[in-house]
């Protein structure tokens, strides 16, 4: 909100400056210029040429007024417009009576500069300066080549130039400073945004790490502490089993952050990988399509497989079957005694079946009942 | 049982597979089986299935993808139409391919992950003209949600799913509190239902006829599945 407010203010300022410049140019051309032109009409070699030059300047101002109303910029018309302005002043000078440069008869000296600035207001400062120099040069060449200037003429030209060059230059400088300010403001605003995003990301990942640590602390930390203080012996098969389970849980935890198409299968593969490394032959097969279960449900579903696989001796079959109203993860394996996991989420049920030395454990989740409750 | 009567005569199977290692493996399993199964190696030459010793083999073990990624359903159709008993043996496990093979009249569909315990059993079943449903095929039948599928009862679906999941009929029987024989009956019923909605091939008519004789399915049930289409 604040940023858009700033943007609106800045646009309004630029718009105001453009209107002011146009008004100054119109007053200069049609107030001062036209008055002087009419007053000395009989002195010009070709009044028609002077009127043509005035009309050309008038046309450029008319185009600017149209663009201003439509809220558009000069774009590709800018070059031709400047050429028209400079041609108009060249035409005017060629037909100017001798020795009248930068007098009131030379009406275009104080008019064409404003028209040029109107066209170049939103361009870099050096463009406006170049135009003003070209304008000055036209007048100076006329003075030097067509006339035979006296010291007085040169002094008059120099004094005239102060206003002709100086005032439009001030305006161009103001416009350029305004542009610089808004550019700097935009850059710093972007930098502030980036810093804020980085802060939010850092806070988010910190809390996620904190959360993971809390999840591990209940089971992993006591195991590590036991191993460290010697109360748990690494050669004890029960301890080895617990280590395998914790390793698989950590793998699953890391896999939960991955962005994959089927997170349940992805996490299950990570759980299986730990058993795979122990030399257990694990088959994984999945059939059907199912809605993506939330993280807590996925943990409950994979927990059964994870516990069974940790104590499996030689081979295991892990299967996922799914439909819109049932997702089931099953493990059939040759493993010894094990503790049934108790699911944390209400929609998940775990069943186990022992047959000789084979264990079949199945975790089921019914999404529809989950939503209804 | 039927297996005992078939045990008297030597079963002959012909295998079409372009992978020599697969053929060698299957050959070993067949020679180790009791009683052994005589295996003819056709390599990747389909012609050897139609002429020579391959032409009179009881069972055809058919690699669906002799050309990678181009399953040869046309050849499967021709084999079934000429009354051959076909086991499709493929690396492919996508459900649509599996169901299509069953619809075309293959008696068994096995993935190459399924070992001798399924392949040898499938060859014996096919030699008797009976279907064999391995766990992978069972999984595909459970997951089948195509519009033309036959309607399965809840118990049939449960048995199929449990067979796919556990790949042990003892476990299925223990889990569902039924006998292994009942497990087989449910699976056979599902195959008959599929044979009934599939194309009318000779082996399929045999299959449906035998199912009626054995009381696996009644005429009323047959008409019921037809009207559902």
| Interface contact B167-A332, CB threshold 8 A | yes
Inter-chain CB proximity A321 and B165 less than 8 Å: yes
pLDDT in tens, A91-112: 888 887 776 777 777 888 888 8
Mean pLDDT, range A198-209, rounded to an integer: 90
- Same domain for B20 and B128, yes or no, is yes
CB contact (8 A) between residue A285 and residue B93: yes
Distance from CA of B164 to the nearest CA of A (A): 8
Give the nearest chain B residue to A322 (CA atoms): B143
pLDDT above 90 (res A202): yes
pLDDT at A143: 80
Give the residue, B147 or A292, on which the prediction is more confident.
A292
Tell whether B140 and B127 lie within a shared domain: no
Q: Assess if CATH 3.30.565.10 describes domain A220-372.
A: yes
* Subunit contact A317:B140, Cβ cutoff 8 A: no
Q: Using the 8-state DSSP alphabet, how is residue A290 labeled?
A: -
Does A1 score more than 90 pLDDT? no
Position A159 pLDDT exceeds 60: yes
Q: Tell me whether residues A321 and B140 touch, CB distance under 8 A.
A: no
Q: What is the largest CA-CA distance in chain B?
A: 49
Whether the per-residue pLDDT at B217 is higher than 60: the answer is: yes
Task: Grade residue B119 by pLDDT with cuts at 50, 70 and 90.
Answer: very high
Q: Are residues B110 and B144 in the same domain?
A: no
- Are the Cβ atoms of B165 and A355 closer than 8 angstroms? no
CB–CB contact A283 B113 (8 Å): yes
Q: Residues of A with CB below 8 A from B161's CB?
A: 321, 328
Contacting residues of A for B118, CB less than 8 Å apart: none
Asked if the model's pLDDT at residue B134 lies above 70, the reply is yes
**Which residue numbers of A have CB closer than 8 Å to B's CBs?**
283, 285, 287-289, 317, 319, 321, 323, 328, 330, 332, 353, 355, 358, 360, 362
The four Cα atoms A70, A76, A82, A88 give a dihedral, to 10 degrees, of -80
Distance (Å) from the alpha carbon of B98 to chain A's nearest alpha carbon = 12
Spatial distance between the Cα atoms of A55 and A51, rounded to a whole number of angstroms: 6
Q: What is the DSSP letter of B132?
A: B
B183 & B204 share domain: yes
Where is pLDDT greater, at A159 or A97? A159
Q: Checking DSSP bridges between strand B38-41 and strand B12-16, what pairing results, if any?
A: parallel
Neighbouring C-beta atoms of residue A76, cutoff 10 Å = 6
Quickly state the pLDDT bin for B2 (edges 50, 70, 90).
very low
Angle of the A263-278 helix axis to the A295-311 helix axis, nearest 10: 20
What is the mean pLDDT of the segment spanning B46-73?
86
Length of chain A: 373
The overall average pLDDT reported for chain A is 84
In the predicted structure, residue B206 carries a pLDDT above the cut 80: no
Question: In terms of residues, how long is chain B?
Answer: 229
Are B125 and B138 part of one and the same domain? no
Which residues, other chains included, contact A272 with Cβ-Cβ below 8 Å and sequence gap of 6+?
A282, A284, A305, A309, A318
Percent of chain A with pLDDT over 90: 10
**Is residue B158 domain-shared with residue B69, that is, in the same domain?**
no
Closest approach of B155 to chain A, Cα-based (Å): 16
Give the distance from CA A163 to its chain's centroid. Answer: 44
pLDDT of residue B5: 43
CB-CB neighbors (< 8 A) of A285 in chain B = 93, 135-136, 139, 164
Residues of A with CB below 8 A from B149's CB? none
Residues of A in contact with B170 (CB under 8 A): 355
Chain A CB contacts of B168 below 8 Å? 332, 355, 358
Confidence check: pLDDT of A249 > 90: no
B167 chain-A contacts, CB cut-off 8 A: 317, 332
- Residue to substitute from A283, A286, A287, A326, interface B, most B β-carbons within 10 A: A287
B77 and B88 share one domain: yes
Contacts of A323 in chain B (CB under 8 A): 143, 145
Closest CA to B50 of B26, B75, B68: B75
Instruction: Give A337-351 pLDDT, tens digit per residue.
Output: 777 777 778 888 888
Please write the tens of the pLDDT for every residue from A25-41.
899 888 888 888 888 87
Closest of B134, B189, B122, B190 to residue B163, by C-alpha = B134
Which of B109, B132, B155 is the endpoint of a domain?
B132
Q: Is the pLDDT reported for residue B66 higher than 50?
A: yes
Let me know whether B14 and B114 are in one domain: yes
B114 & B164 share domain: no
Residues of A in contact with B140 (CB under 8 A): 287
- Residue A203 — very low, low, confident or very high, per pLDDT cuts 50/70/90? very high
Q: Strand pairing partners for A322?
A: A288, A327
Contacts of A328 in chain B (CB under 8 A): 161, 165
**Do B137 and B210 lie in a common domain?**
yes
Average of per-residue pLDDT values in chain B: 83
pLDDT for the residue numbered B120: 92
Task: Determine the distance in angstroms separating the CA of A297 from the nearest CA of chain B, rounded to an integer.
Answer: 20
Nearest Cβ partner of B168 from A289, A323, A332?
A332
- pLDDT of B1: 37
> Domains in chain B: how many in total?
2
Question: Contact A285/B140, CB-based, under 8 Å?
Answer: no
CA gyration radius for chain B?
17
More confident residue, A212 or A284: A284
Residue of chain B nearest A351, judged by CA positions: B175
Least confident of A334-338, B28-32, B95-99, B173-177: A334-338
- Give the domain extent around B152: 133-229
> What are the residue ranges of CATH 3.30.565.10 in chain A?
220-372
* Mean pLDDT calculated for residue range A114-127: 87
* B38-41 and A358-365 beta bridge pairing: unpaired
Q: Using beta carbons and an 8 Å cutoff, which residues of B are at the interface with A?
A: 93, 95, 113, 135-136, 139-140, 142-143, 145, 161, 164-168, 170-171, 174-175
**Do both B85 and B139 map to the same domain?**
no
The per-residue pLDDT for range A122-139, each reduced to its tens digit, is 888 888 899 889 888 888
A364 contact residues in B (CB cutoff 8 A): none
Minimum distance, in Å, between the CA of residue B205 and any CA atom of chain A: 29
Where residue B83 sits, what CATH number does that domain have? Answer: 3.40.50.2300
CA nearest to A353 within chain B: B175
Say whether both B79 and B160 belong to one domain.
Answer: no
- A242 to chain B, closest Cα gap in Å: 25
Out of A283, A288, A355, name the one closest to residue B174 (CB).
A355
Query: Which of A45-59, A190-204, A285-299, A323-337 is predicted most confidently?
Result: A190-204
Domain end residue (candidates: B82, B108, B132):
B132
Express each pLDDT in B72-88 by its tens digit: 888 888 898 888 999 99
Q: If pLDDT is split at 50, 70 and 90, which confidence band does A183 have?
A: confident
Q: What is the pLDDT of residue B222?
A: 67
d(CA A162, CA A145) in angstroms, rounded, equals: 22
Residues in chain B with CB shorter than 8 Å from the CB of A321 are: 139, 142-143, 161, 164-165
User: In the predicted model, is pLDDT for residue A301 greater than 80?
Assistant: yes
């Amino acid at each position: 909100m604040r940023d858009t407010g700033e943007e609106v203010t800045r646009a309004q300022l630029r718009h105001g400056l453009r209107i002011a410049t146009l008004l100054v140019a119109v007053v200069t051309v049609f107030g001062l210029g036209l008055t002087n032109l009419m007053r000395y009409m009989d002195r010009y070699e070709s009044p028609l040429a002077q009127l043509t030059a005035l009309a050309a300047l008038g046309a450029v101002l008319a185009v600017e007024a149209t663009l201003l109303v439509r809220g558009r910029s000069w774009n590709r018309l800018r070059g031709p417009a400047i050429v028209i302005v400079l041609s108009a002043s060249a035409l005017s000078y060629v037909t100017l009576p001798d020795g009248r440069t930068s007098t009131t008869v030379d009406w275009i000296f104080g008019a064409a500069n404003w028209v040029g600035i109107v066209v170049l207001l939103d361009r870099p400062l050096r463009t406006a300066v170049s135009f003003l120099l070209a304008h000055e040069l036209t007048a100076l060449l006329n003075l030097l080549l067509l006339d035979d200037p006296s010291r007085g003429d040169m002094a008059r030209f120099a004094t005239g130039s102060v206003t002709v060059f100086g005032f439009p230059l001030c305006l161009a400088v103001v416009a350029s400073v305004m542009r610089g300010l808004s550019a700097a403001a935009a850059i710093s605003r972007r930098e502030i945004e980036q810093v804020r995003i980085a802060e939010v990301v850092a806070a988010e990942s910190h809390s996620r790490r904190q959360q993971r640590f809390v999840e591990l602390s209940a089971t992993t930390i006591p195991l590590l502490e036991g191993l460290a203080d010697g109360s748990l012996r690494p050669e004890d098969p029960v301890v080895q089993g617990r280590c395998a389970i914790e390793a698989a849980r950590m793998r699953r935890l890391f896999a939960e952050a991955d962005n994959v198409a089927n997170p349940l299968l992805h996490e299950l593969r990570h759980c299986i990988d730990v058993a795979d490394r122990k030399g257990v032959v694990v088959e994984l097969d999945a059939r059907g399509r199912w809605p993506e279960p939330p993280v807590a449900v996925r943990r409950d579903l994979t927990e059964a497989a994870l516990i069974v696989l940790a104590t499996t001796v030689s081979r295991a079959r892990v299967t996922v079957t799914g439909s819109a109203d049932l997702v089931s993860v099953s493990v059939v394996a040759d493993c010894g005694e094990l503790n049934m996991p108790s699911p944390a989420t209400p929609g998940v049920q775990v069943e186990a079946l022992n047959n000789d030395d084979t264990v079949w454990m199945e975790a089921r989740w019914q999404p529809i009942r989950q939503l209804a409750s | 049982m039927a297996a005992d009567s078939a045990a008297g005569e030597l079963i002959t199977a012909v295998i079409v597979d372009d992978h020599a290692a697969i053929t060698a493996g299957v050959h070993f399993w067949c020679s180790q089986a009791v009683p052994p199964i005589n295996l003819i190696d056709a390599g990747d030459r389909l012609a050897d299935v139609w002429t020579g010793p391959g032409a009179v083999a009881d069972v055809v073990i058919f690699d669906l993808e002799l050309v990678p990624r181009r399953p040869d359903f046309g050849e499967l159709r021709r084999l079934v139409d000429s009354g051959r008993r076909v086991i499709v043996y493929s690396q492919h496990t996508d459900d649509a391919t599996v169901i299509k093979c069953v619809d075309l009249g293959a008696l068994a569909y096995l993935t190459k992950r399924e070992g001798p315990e399924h392949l040898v059993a499938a060859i014996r079943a096919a030699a008797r003209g009976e279907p064999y449903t391995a766990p992978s095929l069972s999984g595909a039948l459970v997951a089948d949600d195509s519009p033309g599928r036959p309607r399965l009862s809840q118990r049939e679906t449960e048995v199929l799913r449990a067979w796919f999941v556990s790949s042990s009929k003892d476990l299925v029987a223990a889990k569902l509190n039924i006998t292994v024989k009942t497990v087989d009956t449910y699976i056979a019923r599902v195959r008959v239902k599929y044979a009934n909605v599939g194309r009318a091939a000779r082996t399929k008519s045999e299959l449906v006829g035998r199912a009626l004789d054995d009381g696996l399915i009644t005429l009323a049930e047959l008409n019921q599945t037809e009207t559902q289409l």
